[in-house]
Amino acid sequence: MADRIIKGYWDCPHCGTKGIDGLVDICPGCGSAKDKNVRYYMKAVEEVSDQELAAAGLSREEADGKHKEWICAFCGSLNNYSDEKCVHCGADRAEKEQDYGGSTQQTVYIKDKNGHFKQVGRTEEVPKETYVKKEETPIVPQRSRSPFTGILLAAAVIVLAFLFWPHTESEAISGFRWLRQVTVEELQTFSESGWSVPAEARVTDSKTELSGYRQVLDHYRTVYVTKSREVIDHYETSYEYTDNGNGTFSEHPVSTPVYRTEYYDEPEQEPVYRSEPVYQTKYYYDIDRWVELQTYETSGDDHDPYWSSEYTLSGNQRDTLRFEEYYTIYNDTDIERNSYDRWAGQEIGDGIYVTRNRLGMEYSRKEQ
C-alpha cells in the first residue's frame, strides 16, 4: 500500500493567522510570504488530492521528503520545490540559502490514542554554541548563634570533667569471704549399643540388624508439565507521519505484533525410587562412666578456708571435681575477688590506693 500524502498547515508570525494550508505560500491575512522559520504541523489526517498538488506545482512522486521547499538567500522566504525564482523577491534559486529545515533528517509524528499528534523527531539543527543559564544556588542566611549556646556547652564540659576526673582514695582491708565446693563422683557401668565401639568399651554381643534404608532408582515415568509461551495473536496497525518539507506529510503504516499467552503440556521423564534396606553389624557393650553423686559446700567470712569432710569415699568414688572463690572486703563495702595465693597473703588492716571517678568507675588499684 502506497503512503498517503497528508495536508500540513502553518501559522503566520506576522499577523497571527493560523491554520494556513501548507501548499499556500502567501498568508491570506497580511500577504506575507512564508519565511525560513516556518514550521508545518498537522491538524487531522486529511489526504491531499492530486489536484491540490498540481496547483502547487508538485507531483505526488515529488511529495516524498526529498523535494523540499527552498529558502531564499536574500529575503528568507520559503519557495516551492518547482519554483526557479523566489515568489517574494524574484531572487534566483541557484543562490538559495538552504532547503527547508536545514537538515536531511525528517520530522516524525505519531498519533496517540486520543487522536493527537506527537512529535518524535525534528529537522532543525542544534546550534554549534548552546548557552545554558547556570542555576544559582540560593543563599541561605546563617542563623546567628545565641550567646547562651556557648555558656551551655562550657557548662556541659565542666560537668563531664567533674564527673570523670580521677581521684585517688585510700582503703583498708576490713574482712574476708570464701567459698569451696567439692563434688563426689562414682564410676558406674552402663550397657549400650551402637554401630561402632568406643575404645574403652567391652563388647558383650554383636548382631546383623537393619540400620536404615537407601533410595535406589527403580524406573522412570512420564509426567506432563504445563508450560507457557508467548505467540503472535494478531498485528495492530498504527501510523507515523513525516514532514516532507513542502507543506505536506507522508503517512507510513507501522504494524505492531500483539502477543497472547499459550499454554501447553510437555512430557518429562520423572525418576521413581524404591527403598532398599541396609544391614550393618550392631555391637552391644558395657562402658564405665563417672557420674556426679553429690556436691558438698563450705563457706565463711574469715581467713581460714577448708574443704568439706562430711563424706566418705568408696573404692569406685572420687572427689577430684573442686571449685573455689575468694573475696577481699575493703572499708566494709568494696568487695574484690582474688586468687587464692594473693588472698592468703593479705591481712586485716592492709591498705590500697584506689583511683576512680565520681560515678564510681574504677581506673586502677595499687597496694600501699
Q: Quick: pLDDT tens for 128-143.
A: 333 333 344 444 555 5
Q: Does the pLDDT of residue 202 top 90, yes or no? A: yes
User: What pLDDT was estimated at residue 136?
Assistant: 43
DSSP helix/strand/coil, 55: helix
User: What pLDDT was estimated at residue 127?
Assistant: 37
Q: Which of 136-150, 229-243, 346-360 has the highest mean pLDDT?
A: 229-243
**Single-letter amino acid, residue 153:** L
Residues in a beta bridge with 317: 186
Mean residue pLDDT across the chain: 86
User: What pLDDT was estimated at residue 243?
Assistant: 92
User: What pLDDT was estimated at residue 129?
Assistant: 33
The closest of 326, 334, 332 to 353, measured between CA atoms, is: 334
**Single-letter amino acid, residue 216:** V
User: What pLDDT was estimated at residue 142?
Assistant: 56
Return d(Cα 166, Cα 357) in angstroms, integer.
5
User: What pLDDT was estimated at residue 109?
Assistant: 57
Instruction: Show Cβ contacts of residue 32 under 8 Å, excluding neighbours closer than 6 positions.
Output: 12, 14, 15, 26
The alpha-helical segments, DSSP class H, found in 107-235 are 147-164
Contact 107, 8 (CB under 8 A): no
Q: Does the pLDDT of residue 201 top 80, yes or no? A: yes
Express as a percent the part of the chain with pLDDT over 70: 86
Identify the residue with better confidence: 178 or 159.
178
Contact 77, 87 (CB under 8 A): yes
Mean of pLDDT values over 317-346:
93
DSSP helix/strand/coil, 286: strand
* Residue 39 pLDDT level (bands cut at 50, 70, 90): very high
| Region of poorest pLDDT, from 78-87, 218-227, 322-331 | 78-87
Identify the residue with better confidence: 48 or 167.
48
Mean of pLDDT values over 261-265:
97
Q: Does the pLDDT of residue 299 top 80, yes or no? A: yes
User: What pLDDT was estimated at residue 251?
Assistant: 93
Mean of pLDDT values over 13-35:
93
Cell digits of residue 74 = 536574500
DSSP helix/strand/coil, 301: coil
Q: Does the pLDDT of residue 296 top 90, yes or no? A: yes
Task: Sheet with 78-79: list strands edge to edge.
Answer: 78-79, 70-71, 98-99
Q: Quick: pLDDT tens for 97-139.
A: 677 865 444 555 566 556 665 555 544 433 333 333 334 444 4
Please say whether the dihedral angle defined by the alpha carbons of residues 83, 89, 94 and 95, taken in this order, is positive or negative: negative
User: What pLDDT was estimated at residue 137?
Assistant: 46
Distances from the Cα of 348 to the Cαs of 180, 211, 244, 295, 343, in angstroms?
21, 68, 113, 31, 11
Kind of pairing between the strands at 98-99 and 351-356? unpaired
Return d(Cα 60, Cα 44) in angstroms, integer.
20
